[in-house]
A and B are shown apart, each in its own frame.
Chain A
Amino acid sequence: MTRTNDIILRTTTTLIAFILLGFSIYLFFAGHNKPGGGFIGGLMTSAAFVLMYMAYGFRSLQKILPINFRFVIPVGLIIAVATGIGSFIFGEPFLSQTFAYFQLPVLGKTELATALLFDLGVYLTVIGVTMTIILTIANDRGEER
């Protein structure tokens, strides 16, 4: 399949994709205190990937991100479940979350919450799910039919 020369799209994509990724990571980290969170962050990240896919095609996307998104789903789920199970170590019920404030070298006084780990699980799962669905359907050229 020959492609038309869509240089404008590709050029803007290189820029926009990074802004999108940055924004999605902001959303993910801000989730606990501002609008955002793992779900929206994950969707936004996949939006950036989808944009890259649309501009450069599947092969290039695979070269940039040599990830099989299907395996991202179980990784995310395992992280989410593991944070739940982790609360057993401290004798707490399943999925008990806690938080504390730490003095970190660069960031200064920072709040670290176990909920963020759980959100990471959500984040990864959502990325895996969205990308799997979109890439599966988009790459289906109906070979079998």
Chain B
Amino acid sequence: MLLAVLLPFIIAIIIPFLSKWKDKIHPGYFVTIIPALIFIYFARFLGSNFEPVMREYSWIPSLDINMVFYLDGLSLLFVLLISGIGALVAFYSIFYLHKSEQLGHFYVYFLLFMGSMLGVVLSDNVFVLYSFWEFTSLSSFLLIGFWNYKKESRYGALKSMLITVFGGLSLLGALVFMTVLTNTTSIQEMISQQQLILNSEYFPLILALLLLGAFTKSAQFPFHIWLPDAMEAPTPVSAYLHSATMVKAGIYLVARYSPMLSSSDWFFIIVSSVGIITLCWGSYMAVRQTDLKGILAFSTISQLGMIMSMLGFGTKVAVFAAVFHILNHATFKGSLFMVAGIVDHEAGTRDIRKLGGLMTYLPITATLALFGTFSMAGVPLPFLNGFYSKELFFDASLHLDEIANVGVVGFIKMLLPYLAVFGSIFTFVYSVYFFFGTFRGKSHLEELPKKPHEAPIGMLISPIILILGVILIGLFPKWINEPFIAHAASAVKGLEVQKEIYFWHGFLYPPLIMSITVLVFGTVLYLSRKQWAPVYRIIPGVLSMNKFYDGLVDRLETYSSTVTKGYMNGSLGRYVRLVLAAILIVTFAFMAITGGFTVDTSNLADVSLPEIFVAITMVIAAVGTILTNNRITAILILGVVGYGLSMLFVLYRAPDLALTQLIIETVTVALFLLVFYHLPKLRKKEEAASTRMLNLIISVGFGAMMTMIAISAHSSKWFESISSYFIDNTYKLGGGDNMVNVILVDFRGLDTLFEIVVLGIAAMAIYGLIRLPGKKEEK
């Protein structure tokens, strides 16, 4: 099983080498074989006596992160969808993508995506799941931006990336929470310990984070906005990612965790209402679109909302219908995207206002579209699988027996059937609109960039297979029910679910009445759509989540650049102020909180007259340095401070220091004079009074702080000084009388070694700055 998951990744390494010969043979042929093989491998598991399989491969055992693959009914459904539709899409793309495209890139991304999607649905380890989850975001980003020379592609790719990664990170949060609570990284073990999570005080947070991850990935309201923009991708990508696989990853996640979470009322409230809102909003907005893929994008959003709301219901019927509809939606939506791709390819445009009357030119495509759209609309015909799941959906919305009848829950429960019918009416309208707008009516051939003709047979094979699936599932639902759907539904529900699928329940069967209502109202609305179309100007009108998203991204950029420019204005004076003020505030706060300021006068030495004299001289010189306007004066006065310091060293009996200080001070003053010979005259900078006040406060505060630290440090001596060791051993061990020198060259020779290294580096740097030829500055 590991090989089955890793095979796409391995082949993805090889593909670039194959694409060298793309002029002779299209690399798509090789790529088609891979998902077909995976499909065959997993199809062997089908059968009514299917039992879950678990395989474990070590990855990071010390962190309990291992490649654990768990294949139950739900995983099997998804694996077969991913590999089956993957093979069809790969085959379709051979005829869709011309050899002049960067085919190597395309198939590498495609295979990476397929492999990571397989990983998502098979992983039992939450962190492996998360890794594959992010990998799908990444590879879909690459696929959406495949035509990276188009601005819209880049915009769409970035948007989907930002939204899905936002969700992915919150999913990681939820997974970490659950791992910590249950002390396991296995999903199945988490589900078996569900009480721990349900009763935890973090449960609302876990639920919110988990659902945020699922909703963003599955394009639920209000995170649906990335999906219509992702339509800039090549059509095979849209067919694969945005109808069958990636957008269902969120559905998979909710389904996977629903045995654990569905007993909570909040799960029902959030998932059902978000799902049903997405259903209504998606189908309502789809009617407004003029681009074929735009219609399909909003249709996908709405269908995903429908599946999501059924998962939210959590009853046996609902779960069964949800799983069934996952399969149905993948078949007809995949084929419809391919149809849209064919129309685009053969007529040169996807704008439905320019299209029309293509039935005579593209008869096979039109037939396929007819089955696809009518199945999507849920027209009650016995060979359309969409009708079955739609009827089960109505049935489920009417029979929420397991749900309590009180409060918010009761209110939502009461509204659900009406909203379901409302959403389905619009589903009907856009489905019919898609078909009739493209293939019936007057044709405007002169407006089309190309003269339309039927697609090559290779391009038609994949949608034909999918539509055959639609019809076969419609005609013989039992074939796939028992060995397949029932297992998947049982895995989601956590109990045995056996639901029979019938076409005919009798005339008084309420869901049938709802279906007929949809049919009637849908027809009326479709025929009168010119009359009520202005309603879109009121709802959504100017309101749009896209505007919100664009504004948010825009504002994040402008605000952060405003903030950065606000404090990073390039003025060194300001940076010094900021650094000093930060040190000042932190140190004062720390001292105030810990009571660190102590004064202890018991250990002070007497002050002698020469010391007072030197100190006063130094203070006067220091103040003079600040007040002078002349650079040379400032340096000379600063020299007074330096010589005063060496006087203090003399007074405190440090001859070595005094000598060094004396010479160094002389050298420094001389150097300053040499350097400033070149500098322009010191100008008094005109600064605002408030800045000068601030400078004064900061510098006085900093001085006060350092004084306080010095006093406190002197007042709290906690240990004996180690100097007695040096006094005792300087002669014995070092062989010298000069303790300072012995410490410098013997006891602490390493410090000295690196100090002279520092000196050497400084000299070299000065030499380099002045002598080595640099770039001549332009005047």
Contact = CB atoms under 8 A, between A and B. Distances in A.
Interface of A: 27, 30-40, 43-44, 47, 70, 73-74, 76-77, 80-81, 84, 94-95, 97-99, 111, 113, 115, 118-119, 121-122, 125-126, 128-130, 132-134, 136-138, 140, 142, 144
Contacts of A31: 736, 738, 741, 745
B624 interface: no
B742 to A, nearest CB: 7
A115 B745 contact: yes
B586 interface: no
A99 B735 contact: yes
B671 A37 contact: no
Interface string B245-260: 0000000000000000
B667 A43 contact: yes
A74 B756 CA distance: 10
15 contacts: A31-B745, A35-B656, A37-B738, A39-B744, A40-B656, A73-B759, A74-B760, A95-B749, A97-B745, A99-B736, A115-B735, A121-B756, A122-B745, A126-B756, A134-B670
Kindly name the residue among A44, A80, A81, A142 whose own CB sees the greatest number of chain B CB atoms within 10 A.
Answer: A80
Contact of B752 (A30, A43, A122): A122
Kindly name the residue among B671, B744, B757, B771 whose own CB sees the greatest number of chain A CB atoms within 10 A.
Answer: B744
B763 A133 contact: yes
Contacts of A32: 734-738, 741-742
Contacts of A36: 656, 659, 738, 741
B563 interface: no
A140 B753 contact: no
Contacts of B767: 70, 132, 136
B439 to A, nearest CB: 78
B671 A40 contact: no
Nearest to A40: B659
Given A132-B763, A133-B762, A137-B671, A39 B660 contact: yes
Contacts of B3: none
Contact of B655 (A35, A84, A95, A97): A35
Contacts of A136: 766-767, 770-771
B727 to A, nearest CB: 15
B756 A37 contact: no
A126 B770 contact: no
B742 A138 contact: no
Contacts, number: 140
A81 B664 contact: no
Nearest to B656: A35
Contacts of B760: 73-74, 76-77, 125, 128-129
A80 B737 CA distance: 21
B762 A80 contact: no
A73 B505 CA distance: 100
Contacts of A140: 678, 770-771
Contact of A137 (B666, B675, B762): B675
B150 interface: no
Nearest to A141: B678
A129 B771 CA distance: 15
Given A37-B740, A43-B664, A144-B773, 19 more contacts: A35-B738, A37-B744, A76-B756, A77-B756, A97-B746, A99-B734, A111-B735, A115-B735, A115-B742, A115-B746, A129-B759, A129-B762, A129-B763, A133-B766, A136-B766, A136-B770, A137-B674, A140-B678, A142-B678
A123 B776 CA distance: 37
B663 A44 contact: yes
B626 interface: no
Contacts of A40: 656, 659-660, 663
Nearest to B663: A43
A43 B735 contact: no
A84 B671 CA distance: 33
B742 A77 contact: no
Contacts of A118: 745, 749, 752
Given A34-B737, A115-B745, A73 B663 contact: no
B671 A134 contact: yes
A138 B674 contact: yes
B766 A137 contact: yes
A68 B666 CA distance: 24
B764 interface: yes
A36 B112 CA distance: 73
Contacts of A81: 753
A8 B735 CA distance: 45
A42 B564 CA distance: 49
A97 B749 contact: yes
B750 interface: yes
A112 to B, nearest CB: 9
A133 B671 contact: yes
Contact of B736 (A33, A80, A95, A129): A33
Contacts of B735: 32, 98-99, 111, 113, 115
B253 to A, nearest CB: 60
A80 B655 CA distance: 24
A97 B675 CA distance: 40
A126 B759 contact: yes
A69 B759 CA distance: 13
Contacts of B762: 129, 133
Given A115-B734, A115-B746, A133-B762, A80 B753 contact: yes
B766 A84 contact: no
A140 B768 CA distance: 12
Kindly name the residue among B734, B736, B767, B776 whose own CB sees the greatest number of chain A CB atoms within 10 A.
Answer: B736
